[in-house]
Amino acid sequence: MVISDRVKNMPPHFFSSLVKKVEAAKASGLDIINLGRGNPDQPTPPHIIQALQEAAERPDTHGYSPFKGIPEFRNAVADFYKREYDVDVDPDTEVAIIGGSKIGLVELPLAMMNEGELLLLPDPGYPDYLSGVSLANIRFETMPLLEKNGFLPDFDALTDEVKQQAKMMYLNYPNNPTSAVASVPFFEEAITFAKENDIYILHDMAYGGIGFDGQKPVSFLQAKGAKDIGIEMYTLSKTYNMAGWRVAFAVGNAEMIEAINTLQDHLFISIFPAIQHAAIAALSDNQECVKELTALYEGRRDVLIAECQRIGWDVGAPKASFFAWLPVPDGYTSESFADILLQKAGVVVAPGHGFGNHGEGYVRVGLLANEDRIKEAVARIEKLGIFSRSGI
């Protein structure tokens, strides 16, 4: 059988290799504490499940959805952005319904770029951004996210050639994997840069519902001029524990939204209508479940940071998302350190190099185990004798 070059040239999937290592460790009998995953560990709130059940019993939800999603869902998205961010969104022209933000992130280059054009990507960044590069047969350049810059890109560091050739740029805050946050002034700086260089912006806001210490992450669309050159993608996976439901949306620039919708007209027939009704309940009903989830992650964060500092691991507290981006001790690479934690302590973390060259020197730790298991994980690491109270 002949497989297409497009499939043959797909990049290896970073998380698949991590999963293989974890499965091998489990098979050897190790009790594994998995802090390397990005899959929420809590159930979907009951009122959202009830909305799905009620909608699924209605015969009118059993047929094809409208290609652009049901109008009620698009209206709920517009209402959500007005309530949460005081941003006006036209539900008919500025909203695209997507079967999970991963699909949107991968398909956007197909909708917006021609072969050989240049995409700017954050480094470190979500590995699946590269899937869109491969499928669209485009080029990419990375924007280093450095700790000294608050893990924000330095646009001035890009060469004139890159600025001139770039067609589109991806941003992602709260950031995966670094957990860094961005401000409205930063987004305004990005918009100015993009307008000066004729670059479109995609802001990936997958973790937008999870902010700590009373600070709510801001939306890219809150920045002046954002809709002139960009869109934002928001998934229900993290904010509402709906990862397996595969439902998300993009909002913003009408031409970019139309490009997404046109491409999706040829690929999908939107999402099962009953899931769309459940998404409406998630966005529109009481948001106490979001507050409770954020408080849960913040409590886990506080335990993780306190325990790490107790054993001499000099780490900072993340401000958002359900990840912590922790420095690797001297003498280790991110992969060798992650391998030792897995093999010697049964603790899974994601090595930073899997997120890009500038992820080297860090590991990503997920706040996706209860507080007791987090304490146990750090206690196991302590027994390895790698750290001391003097730091790393």
Determine the Cα–Cα distance for residues 247 and 66; give it in Å rounded to an integer.
Answer: 15
Q: For every one of its 392 residues, what pLDDT tens digit does the chain have, with 9 covering 90 and above?
A: 888 988 888 887 777 777 888 888 788 888 999 999 889 999 999 999 999 999 999 999 999 999 999 999 999 999 999 999 999 999 999 999 999 999 999 999 999 999 999 999 999 999 999 999 999 999 999 999 999 999 999 999 999 999 999 999 999 999 999 999 999 999 999 999 999 999 999 999 999 999 999 999 999 999 999 999 999 999 999 999 999 999 999 999 999 999 999 999 999 999 999 999 999 999 999 999 999 999 999 999 999 999 999 999 999 999 999 999 999 999 999 999 999 999 999 999 999 999 999 999 999 999 999 999 999 999 999 999 998 744 44
Does domain 46-284 correspond to CATH entry 3.40.640.10? yes
Q: How far apart (Å, rounded) are the C-alpha atoms in residues 154 and 223?
A: 18
**Domain residue ranges of the chain, discontinuous segments joined by +:** 5-44+288-383, 46-284
pLDDT of residue 6: 87
DSSP strand E in 173-206: where? Answer: 200-204
pLDDT at 73: 98
Q: Which CATH superfamily is domain 5-44+288-383 in?
A: Aspartate Aminotransferase, domain 1 (3.90.1150.10)
Instruction: Give this prediction's pTM.
Output: 0.95
> Can you list the positions of beta strands (E) in the chain?
33-34, 95-98, 118-123, 139-144, 166-172, 200-204, 230-235, 248-252, 323-327, 347-348, 350-351, 362-366
Asked, colleague to colleague, whether 5-44+288-383 and 46-284 share their fold, the answer is no
Residue 10 has what pLDDT? 83
Could you list the beta-strand ranges (E) of 131-206. 139-144, 166-172, 200-204
